Structure 1
Amino acid sequence: MAAMLRAVRVLHRFAERPVPDRRNIFSDRPPEPPASDTDRVQGGQRWQAVVRHSPERAMFPLLGLMVLGVEVWPGLGVMPARGPILLTLPCIGLMITGWRWRGGPVVTAVGCLLVMGFVDPRIVAMTLVAPMLQVVHVVQNRGFPLGVGISGIGYLYAVWASIPNATSASDHVDILLVWAVVYAICWAVGLLLPAWVTSRVSFLEGEIERQRFQIAAELHDTVAHDLSLIVMTAERARVDPQLGGPEALGQVAERARRASMQLRALMTLLEVEAAPPLLAFHNVLAHSKDALARAGFESSVMVQGDLGRITSSTGDLLSRLLREAVNNVVRHGSPSGGCVVLINVEETVVELGVTNVCHRPTGEVRPGVGLTGMRDRVEAAGGTMTVSSQSPDWRLALSVPMLG
């Protein structure tokens, strides 16, 4: 009994030892990474968020109840009363580990020591699992001193329960080695799991950011295009009241109605994850020519090849690209210089070129949200895109493969 009390005191001293961030292992949160390294701090914060919102609070009680049912329930009424009572302690420690990852292992360790002192090892089986699971959980939360303590007691508990089954000296050696390997694996899993989860969280954060950008690009390519034309029509009507007649109001109403439909389609896509209707490229080409004419541009559309050969997927992509290109021309181009749209349909690729006179000075092209979104769409499809500015012309040239 005195030896067990000394072991409990040693374990308690392990628990009271400060971790590197000077918080003791009975704290409710995992240790913080060093504040001097920004990347490690951010990674530690992501891991702590995963720990706080993980399903472990439900998993550990279920595991504890399962071990309790398998280990204790069959022995009720068969073994002495102290057996089921003491075997319940490691199960209780396992159950509360989800809420208190420091207190749960301590309860389990005390229970294991009491079981070794008062229970026949031949009736011990499933409770051997409790310290193993807790070692993984403690180590992944960087509670290394407590991990060493619970590993040592769990190892002794497993060896103690296995020794009665040994029949020779070699069996004793095998038992010592096997349980050492088992606990080494538990430590390896506990050390590697945070890195895997953190990398997975980083990947999902990147996917969320990519989808956010896609949504922004979609809004920019559709709704923002029509809103820009509405604003320009309204500004022209304000400068020259003669341009604000029924025809101009009809154009504003048509574009507003189209923007509303596009926004509703995008909301439907976000809700039900259904693909939006494909845009007919020849219709978008006609609408783009009308938009240029209404903005005062004298446009020239030249088509080489058969537009009917363009597949639906390629047509949908080209429709979005052409709408954005025309939107840029209307917003930044000079109507006096006109606009030339060239489409070349080949067997495996489709080329699109737009040339216009731009208000901007000659120099390095700084892509905004629209051009960046176009480039991303083109490169995602396996195509290429170039933008150049040479006084006074602004040139956009892109090539996309014929998608299936």
Structure 2
Amino acid sequence: MRRDLPYALGGLALGGLLLGNAALAPDARPIRALDVALVLVMVAALAVCRRFPVPALVVVTAAMLAVHFRLHPGPAAAFPVLGTVYLAAWRGHRAAAALASLVFLGCFLFRDFAVAPADQPAQQVAERTSLLLGWFVAANVAGLVARQRRAYLEQVEQRAVEAERTREEMALRRAGEERLRIARDLHDSLTHSISVIKVQAGIAVHLARKQGKEPSATLLAIQEASGAAMRELRATLGVLRSASDVDPVGLAGVDGLAERTRAAGVPVQLTVTGQRELPAEVDQAGYRVVQEALTNVARHAGPATARVDIEYAPERLTVCVTDDGRASPSRPVTPGVGLRGMRERVTGLGGTLHTAARDGGGFAVRATFPLDGPS
């Protein structure tokens, strides 16, 4: 209804102009209730012309012809008809707009020539005829031009949408091709190397047991870690070869991760507070934070003990990994690829990551992930 308001206000303004012009004309006739009713009918038709252009055009044309025959307000009676003719042509009703123009012009001129030929000089009638003809031609042409312009803009917009969709499809296809290339490279190089490590470790364990000796903890840790690496690598290759980025590893696998780290010679204490269902991406990112932090402990902390604290809260997940290794505030840690990747994972999910050396020695990694609320 708000979109119809400008048309209704415009109709009221035209109606006022029409009645005022008729009242101030030299040969003015008294304005009666029927004349006001015809003007109000015109206003009502203009108010709905946006939704019903052809019926409004018919009603406005008939009402203005009736007003013209009764009051003879001059060219002012054509203004509402011109507006509806333009709107009808703009909405694609060219035949109706042209027919209404011809009917109004014919009846208007018939009244001028047949009813009061003596009151108006022939030159004045000819000038008014030319003026009205030009107005109606202009209204029809303007409506057609506006419609063609709108169609052109819609076509341009559609082409832009199609071009954007094509670019997105090309980007997805190139990304898929790149994923497949990376998967092939990983399979041909890294998979082979890890397989060799796993096989050699298995052979060493088998030979030690065959000779009646118990394999060392380090050798068993190498065998278990290589097996876990193979499983994760296969899962990663599966992700790269598919359209999904879902990683099957989550915080449920932290127990196994802690066991493998203990087997590698790093004591790990694991504490889990609370429990709740997590979004897949948060679950995966939390696991990766623990994995990367424990890997850094094994590589850089020296003889150390690690502690993993996982806290499930209604509004957040907190993952904290600390150690009592050789890091200290006096020797700042230079962030490597692992820490940068960890930070990208956490901040990409709207979380925060704090990594720093501890005052009493060792290093601390604390990641906080926001959650939607209780599950």
TM-score range normalised by the length of the shorter chain: 0.3 to 0.5
Structure index of larger Rg: 2
TM-score, normalization: structure 2?
A: 0.43
TM-score, normalization: structure 1?
A: 0.41
